[in-house]
Structure 1
Amino acid sequence: MEAVMVAWHEELARREAAAAEQVERLRGQIAELAEQLNAAEQLMSRLTITRETMSKILVEADGPDEIDVNSTDSSPRSPIGLMLVPQRRPGMPRWR
C-alpha cells in the first residue's frame, strides 16, 4: 500500500508542476498579446484622429479645389496649399 501512496504523490507533484508551467506559459502569451493589443489600439486611435482632422480640413476648404497662398482673403484658412485630388478610377491617366 505504501508504494501506491508514493506513486500517487509523485504523480500529483508531476501534474502540479506541469500545470504551473502551463500557467506561466499562458501568462507570457497574455502579456505579449496585451502589448500587441495596446499597439493596435494606439494605431487605431491615431488613424481615427487623422480621419477626423482631414474631414475637418476638407469641410473648411469647401471653396475652390485649391487654396491660393497669395490670396488677400482674410478667412482663417491654412496657407499650406491644400489641393483636393479625386480618387483614382480605372481609365484615368497616370501621373508622371
Structure 2
Amino acid sequence: MPLTEEAAELQRVLHEWENITSVLIATLHEQVDSARPANWHPHFEQIVSALHGYRELCRREIEQIGLWREDGLEPEEVHEQIWEQGDRLAKWLSRMIGT
C-alpha cells in the first residue's frame, strides 16, 4: 500500500534526523580522539548514548510508517513527538558541550 503524503514526509524527515544523528556521533568520536581537551570529554559516553537512543527512535518509527499503530497516532503526531524529543536532546547537548 502506498504511503500517504503525510507518512511519506514523516519518513523523509526521520531519515534526515537519523542521518544527522549519525554524523553527530561520528564527529564526536573524531573530536574525543583529538588531542584537544574539551569539557564534555568526561561525558562522552553519556552523550553518545543519548544520540544512539534518538537515532534508534527514528529508525523504529521509520519501520512503523504505514503500519497500524497500537497508540493510534497519526504521522503528524509522531512527527511532533519526535521533534519535541529531538529539541530536548539538542538543548541538553548544547548544555553538555557548552555551545
For the aligned pair, the TM-score class normalised by the smaller chain equals 0.3 to 0.5
Greater helix percent: which structure?
A: 2
Higher CA-based Rg: 1
| TM-score, length-scaled by structure 1 | 0.33
- Larger RCO: 1 or 2 (CA < 8 Å, sep 6+): 2
**TM-score, structure 2 as length reference:** 0.32
